[in-house]
Amino acid sequence: MTNELLTSQAVVRLDLAGEELWLLPQRCIWWPARHTLIASDLHLGKSGHFRSEGLAVPQAVLTADLERLCQLIAWLPVRRLLCLGDLFHSRTNPEWPLVLEYRARFKDAEFVLIRGNHDVLPAHRYAELNIAVLDYLTEGPFLFVHDPADAGHGAAAAVTMSGHLHPGVRLRGRGRQTLRLPCFFLGSKTLLLPAFSEFTGLALLRPGKGDRVFVIADGCVVGV
C-alpha cells in the first residue's frame, strides 16, 4: 500500500530555495530534511458541526481525513506535523473525543499549529492535544503562515508557505470539457497548499505568467 501510493509517478518532487519538498496526492507536503509533514486547513469537526445543525453530511468524511493523516504518519518518518491553520472548524466540536483518539495514535510526533481564522478554541483545548500554537514560523528558507496576506512577517524568507485559500483551478478541454481540481499553487515567492480536508470547497485561481500549478487527481499530483 505504502509503496503504491507514494510511487514517483504520484508524487512531485520539488527543489524550492535549495530544499527538497514532496508534493503528495494526500493534499499535503513532505519536507524530508526536517522530517516534517506540512498540511493546511484540516477543518476537523466540520461534518460534525453540520450534523449538529441538522445538515446530514456523511460523517465518514472526518474519519477519512484523520485516517489519511495517520496513514501518512505511519508510512513516513514523521517527527513533526506542521498545520498551517484552520485545524478545527469552529468553536463547537462534538467530535472532539474522536480527534483526541486519533492524536493518541501519533503521540510521539511534535504537533505545531500556525493559528488560522477558524482556530478559536480556548488554550486548554490545544494543551489537551499537546499542540504548540504559533502565529507564524520561520525556518530554513521558508516562512509559514495561515493567510498568504500575512507574508510580511518574514520579509527575509525566500518562500512563504500558506493555506487559507483552498486553491483550485479549472481545466478546460475541447468539447466543453471542464474539470475543477484542488492544487498546489507555486508563485515566485509563495507556495499555496490545498486544503487537507476533502470536505472543503475550492477557490478557483488563475495562474499568471511564471506561476506553476500542480493539480491533484486520481491519486496523483500532476503539473499542468
Partner 1 sequence: MTKGRAAIQAWFDERGWTEFDFQKRCWNAYLRGEQGLLNAPTGSGKTYAMWFGPVMEWINEQKKDFRDVKPTGLQVLWLTPLRALASDIARALQDSCDGLGLPWTVETRTSDTSQAVKQRQLKRMPQALITTPESLHVLLSMSGGADLFKHLRMAVVDEWHELLGSKRGTQTELGLAHLRSLRPKLRTWGISATIGNLEEAKDVLLGAAAAEAKSKIVRVKQKKLMTIESVLPESIERFPWSGHLGAHMVEKIIPLVHASKTTLIFTNVRSQTEIWYHRLLEAAPELAGQMAIHHGSLDTGVRHWVEDALRRERLRAVVCTSTLDLGVDFSPVETVIQVGSPKGVARFLQRAGRSGHSPGATSRMYFVPTNALELVEAAAIQEAIKQTDVEARKPIINPLDVLVQWLTTLASGGGFKRAEALAEVRGTHAFKDISDEEFDWVLDFITTGGRSLHAYDEYKKVVLNEDGDYAIADRRTALRHRMQIGTITADAALKVQFLSGKKLGTIEEGFISGIKPGKSFWFAGRNLELVRIKEMTVFVKKSSKKDGRVPSWQGGRIPLSTEVSEHMRMQIDAAAQKKRTRRIEMRTLEPLLNLQRAWSLLPEADTLLIEKTFSREGCHVFFYPFEGRLVHEGMGAVLAYRIAQMQPISFSIAMNDYGFEILSEDDIPIEEALLRDVFSSDNLVEDIYASVNATEMARRRFREIARVAGLVFQGYPGQKKLNRHLQASSGLLFDVFEKYDGGNLLLRQAYTETLAFQLEEKRLRRALDAIRARRIELRYPERFTPFAFPIMVDRLREKLGSERVTDRIQKMKLQLEEAAG
Interface region with partner 1, contact rule CB under 8 A, candidates 15-23, 31-39, 124-132, 164-172: 164-172
Distance (Å) of CA 110 to CA 123, 129, 147? 17, 11, 22
Given the DSSP bridges, would you call strands 203-204 and 159-162 parallel, antiparallel or unpaired? Answer: unpaired
Please say whether the dihedral angle defined by the alpha carbons of residues 3, 112, 51 and 199, taken in this order, is positive or negative.
negative
Residue with cell 469537526: 45
Greatest Cα-to-Cα distance within the chain, rounded to the nearest angstrom: 55
> Which helix (H) or strand (E) is 66 found in, with range?
helix 60-75
* Residues of span 84-113 touching partner 1 by CB under 8 A: 89-90, 94-98
Residue 11 near partner 1 by CB under 8 A: no
Please provide the distance, in angstroms rounded to a whole number, between the alpha carbons at the two ends of the chain: 26
Residue 57 near partner 1 by CB under 8 A: yes
Nearer residue to partner 1 within complex by CB, 77 or 219: 219
- Residue of 13, 79, 170, 189 interacting with partner 1 (CB under 8 A): 170
Nearer residue to partner 1 within complex by CB, 82 or 192: 192
Interface region with partner 1, contact rule CB under 8 A, candidates 59-67, 71-79, 132-140, 154-162: 59-67
Interface region with partner 1, contact rule CB under 8 A, candidates 15-23, 70-78, 139-147, 192-200: 192-200
Q: Residue 99 corresponds to which cell in the numbers above? A: 480527534
Cβ at position 55, least distance to partner 1 in Å:
6
- Residue of 1, 55, 123, 155 interacting with partner 1 (CB under 8 A): 55
Beta strands in 12-127, from DSSP E residues, in sequence order: 12-16, 19-24, 28-31, 36-39, 80-83, 110-114
Nearer residue to partner 1 within complex by CB, 63 or 138: 63
DSSP 162-176: E-SS-EEEEEE-STT
Residue 61 near partner 1 by CB under 8 A: yes
Cβ at position 50, least distance to partner 1 in Å:
6
Given the DSSP bridges, would you call strands 80-83 and 36-39 parallel, antiparallel or unpaired? Answer: parallel
Residue 189 near partner 1 by CB under 8 A: no
Q: Please, are residues 115 and 143 in contact by the beta-carbon 8 Å criterion?
A: no
Residue 48 near partner 1 by CB under 8 A: yes
Instruction: List residues near partner 1 by CB under 8 A.
Output: 48-61, 63-64, 89-90, 94-98, 169-177, 179, 181, 198-201, 206-209, 211, 213, 215, 217-218, 220, 222, 224
